[in-house]
């Protein structure tokens, strides 16, 4: 599987580029600028031998990270790893940006608390969809996360607890130790199943280049596969995070497919970022925040009336599907029994009589 990254031209078209840069900060910006070819043999050798000793408390320990690359056993500290990946400057290495950056949610912050700030309804780990994120910008950030630092091919629309950690860092914003979480990611990016897709090839190439092993002769012997791709307007349109206007422009959509209108108090827009808004009726501008603001259920249960209606509708549809499936199986069973009866010359099964017909028969007898 290829590694995906930010498409800054797309974010600029959507007037989100300043907001994205403010949320990410310099270290994440360097991380998302890593774009290299990916080599199959290099990835397999590296990932099959890679080990990261966790919890890593001494960032200078020279054997925190061990792996094999280009036929040579190698090891490095987390500090050296961060430098080779080009994530931090020497000055940043000596500050809290690196030394005290988060590697998980703070102990006093739960995934449910994070979700309550950015999502709709209740948070259920590994089942909540990204369409429940209130802000389409957060949906875009989530897609970038799910296909890079938490890379996976399947279930990219599901918001995992690890995804929530990264969203917390972007939205709060909070300082994250990107080198640490990337080193941790390499321990699981091969997946859990033999058929799982391998992720993070672009980052492995970055590390290989830092060791100077990718000479032209070596590259000629390697199998290059998908290059780093960007999450562009086509991807965002397919996600239904972006819609196109009649004039050919683009607008952000909420999880319900409606034009999203930001709350100026929460999302101040810089003058140079202010997009030209299409002429639409006010009711089309209503986001889920406005619609649910006065819903009493939203205060007591954490869900809204619309959420409950959607749940009931889903249950009713499931009941209908179950009844249809039972009817189909009954018909198949009866058909099979009749075939058996004909084969053994057993009289055919009588068809069930309507209660009214049965009553008239009894009357005639």
To which H or E segment does residue 287 belong? none
DSSP secondary structure string for all residues of 157-203: TB--HHHHHHHHHHHTT--B-HHHHHHHHTTTTT-SSTTPPP--HHH
pLDDT for the residue numbered 145? 93
Task: Domain ranges for the chain, please list them.
Answer: 4-236, 305-360
pTM above 0.75?
no
**In this structure, what token pair is assigned to residue 224?**
């290059």
Please check whether residue 86 is in contact with residue 206, taking contact to mean a CB–CB distance below 8 angstroms: yes
**102-131 pLDDT tens trace:** 999 999 999 999 999 999 999 998 899 999
**33-53 pLDDT tens trace:** 999 999 999 999 999 999 999
Q: What's the whole-number mean pLDDT along residues 347-356? A: 54
Return mean pLDDT, the chain: 82
Scanning the chain, the segments in alpha helix (DSSP H) are 8-13, 17-31, 40-49, 78-84, 90-93, 96-99, 111-118, 136-146, 161-171, 178-185, 201-210, 216-221, 233-238, 282-285, 288-292, 296-300, 305-343, 355-364
pLDDT for the residue numbered 115? 97
């Amino acid at each position: 599987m290829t590694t995906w990254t930010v498409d800054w031209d797309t974010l600029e078209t959507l007037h989100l580029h300043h907001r994205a840069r403010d949320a990410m900060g310099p270290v994440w910006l360097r991380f998302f600028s890593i774009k290299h070819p990916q080599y199959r043999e290099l990835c397999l050798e590296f990932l099959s031998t890679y080990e990261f000793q966790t919890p890593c408390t001494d960032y200078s320990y020279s054997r925190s990270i061990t792996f094999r690359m280009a036929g040579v056993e190698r090891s490095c500290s987390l500090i050296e790893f961060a430098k080779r990946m080009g994530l931090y400057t020497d000055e940043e290495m000596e500050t809290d940006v690196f030394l005290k950056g988060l590697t998980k949610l703070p102990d006093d912050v739960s995934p449910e608390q994070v979700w309550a700030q950015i999502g709709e309804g209740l948070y259920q780990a590994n089942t909540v969809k990204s369409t429940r994120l209130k802000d389409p910008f957060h949906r875009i950030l989530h897609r970038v996360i799910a296909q890079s630092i938490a890379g996976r091919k399947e279930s990219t629309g599901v918001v995992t607890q690890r995804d929530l950690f990264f969203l917390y860092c972007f939205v709060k914003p909070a300082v994250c130790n990107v080198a640490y979480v990337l080193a941790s990611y390499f321990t699981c990016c091969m997946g859990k199943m033999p058929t799982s897709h391998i992720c993070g090839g672009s980052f492995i190439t970055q590390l290989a280049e830092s060791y100077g092993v990718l000479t032209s002769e070596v590259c000629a012997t390697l199998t290059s596969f998908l290059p780093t791709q960007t999450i562009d307007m086509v991807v965002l349109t397919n996600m239904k995070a972006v819609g196109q206007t009649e004039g050919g422009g683009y607008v952000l959509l909420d999880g319900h497919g409606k034009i999203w209108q930001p709350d100026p108090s929460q999302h101040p827009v810089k003058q140079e970022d202010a997009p030209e808004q299409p002429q639409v009726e006010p009711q089309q501008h209503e986001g889920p925040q406005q619609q649910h603001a006065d819903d009493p259920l939203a205060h007591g249960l954490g869900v809204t009336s619309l959420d409950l209606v959607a749940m009931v509708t889903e249950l009713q549809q499931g009941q209908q599907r179950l009844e249809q499936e039972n009817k189909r199986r009954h018909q198949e069973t009866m058909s099979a029994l009749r075939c058996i009866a004909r084969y053994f010359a057993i009289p055919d099964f009588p068809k069930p009589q309507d209660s009214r017909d049965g009553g008239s028969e009894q009357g005639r007898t």
